[in-house]
Amino acid sequence: MTVTPTNPDQPTKRRHIILCGFMGTGKSTVGRLIGLKLKLPFVDTDALIEARQGQAISAIFAQKGEAFFRSLEHQLCQEIALWEPTVIATGGGMVIDPRNRDLLAGAGLLVCLDASPGLIAARLRGQSHRPLLAAPDPKQRIAELLSARAAVYGAIALHVNTNRQSPDRIAAQIIELWNQSA
């Protein structure tokens, strides 16, 4: 996965589209669609970290801990400002660090995708590679994590609810927001 840096002395007219929010809200699915529609590269930050580290997020958590993983996310946030315009799907916890929120908001249109705990649980059912969901009752764990992150996600200015909407419709809404912000 290659991302081309731009010249920081010549800012681009168009900025990134950055999708944040809890896991399972549709960031990667919608991000890929937006990238296709706008002919922009798409980057999933979790996938990029996995590629760079040569191991899955769950292995990074198990072997090096969450703090190490969060430091990798912060380093990546610092790089993002130098990239050519890109559609970016962040990891669900990337915006927990206020420094990351500030870096991402300054790098482009930051949109938080929201979904209900039940829908998130249904979307994530059977995905064993989610270290934060390793719990006897994943739906309850999702509700707990959403509650713990409510203030963090609430601090994001733009939100799109992904409940009962097709990925195409969500992508169209975000593209409209991006066009209005240009």
CA 71 – CA 33 distance, rounded (Å): 29
- pLDDT tens for residues 35-58? 999 999 999 999 999 999 999 988
Q: How far is CA 53 from the centre of its chain?
A: 18
* Sign of the dihedral defined by the CA atoms of residues 31, 33, 37, 42, in that order: positive
Strand 108-114 to strand 16-21: parallel, antiparallel, or no bridges (unpaired)?
A: parallel
Q: Please, what are the domains in the chain?
A: 16-181 (3.40.50.300)
For 91-134, the pLDDT digits (tens) are: 988 999 999 999 999 999 999 999 998 898 888 876 655 555 66
pTM assigned to the model:
0.87
